[in-house]
Chain A
Amino acid sequence: MLVLTRKTGEGIIIGDNIRITVVEIKGGGIRLGIDAPSDKKIYRQEVFDRICQENKEALQWNLADLNALSTSLTQKKGQS
């Protein structure tokens, strides 16, 4: 991993069209400004990781459970 030291107001350029600026450093947190093309997806890492993990867990299922659930969910809907 490339490690760089930056001060408030300084930035980093990545490729042709991504610019990251250190906006503010305060109380252990760093505010970053990111200029990137609108087709670049930008997520907080922990949010992204959480969805990755959830998608992985969503792969663990079997048809017997799905069929049983479909029956019970349809019955519930019929009752309401």
Chain B
Amino acid sequence: MIKIVTRFGEIEYDPTKTVHFPEGLIGFEHLRDFIVMPNEKEGPLFWIQSIDDPQIAFVLTDPTNFFLEYRVKPDQRECQKLGIQSQDDCFCLSVVTVPTDRKITLNLAAPILFSPSTNRALQVILENSSHSARTPLPQ
């Protein structure tokens, strides 16, 4: 186990169980490795903490918790980057913005494709879609 100090305090993690973003996230291309943090409370939200920068942590969720129809599949090139054979070996996550008024939004315009078998993830931009980078939860 390795310990790092983050803005949430000291975190201990297993270096064999981190998620690797071979291209980083959009705008954070230099940060490649993250620890998956289960939330203290049960629920659909969890977060990932950058190993390299203690200030950087993103809240994520499975968007199908809120948007049943939302599906994003990796193309061949993305499968290659994720190290998977089939596009079904991957599922989709969304970055969650948590403002102080707690009216959270999901970034459905730039989902994260995650492959549990290889522990790799990519953030992709859906350029030709109507999804918003700031989609509020359905009422």
A-B complex is real: yes
Contact of A43 among B59, B77, B125 (CB under 8 A): B125
Total of A-B residue pairs, C-beta within 8 Å: 97
Complex alpha-carbon distance, A61 and B101, angstroms: 11
Chain B: interface secondary structure?
Answer: loop
> Which residues of B, 7-65, contact A by the 8 Å Cβ criterion?
8, 23, 25-28, 39-45, 47, 55-59, 65
> Does B97 contact A54, Cβ atoms closer than 8 Å?
yes
> Does B96 contact A58, Cβ atoms closer than 8 Å?
yes
Complex alpha-carbon distance, A68 and B59, angstroms: 14
Chain A: interface secondary structure?
Answer: helix
Residues of A within 8 A of B28 (CB): 55
Complex alpha-carbon distance, A56 and B43, angstroms: 24
Please, how many residues of chain A have a CB less than 8 angstroms from a CB on the other chain? 31
Whole-angstrom distance between the Cβ of A41 and the nearest chain B Cβ: 8
Complex alpha-carbon distance, A74 and B26, angstroms: 30
Complex alpha-carbon distance, A71 and B28, angstroms: 30
Contact of A55 among B8, B27, B40 (CB under 8 A): B27
Whole-angstrom distance between the Cβ of A73 and the nearest chain B Cβ: 5
> Does A66 contact B59, Cβ atoms closer than 8 Å?
yes
Residues of B within 8 A of A38 (CB): 77
Count chain A CB atoms within 10 A of each CB in B8, B56, B107 and give the residue with the most: B107
> Does B41 contact A74, Cβ atoms closer than 8 Å?
yes
* Given A66-B98, A68-B102, A70-B43, residue A51 in contact with residue B55 (CB < 8 A): no
Is A5 part of the binding interface, using a Cβ–Cβ cutoff of 8 Å? no
Is B85 part of the binding interface, using a Cβ–Cβ cutoff of 8 Å? no
Contact flags (1/0) for A28-56 with B, using CB distance below 8 Å? Answer: 00000000001101011001101111111
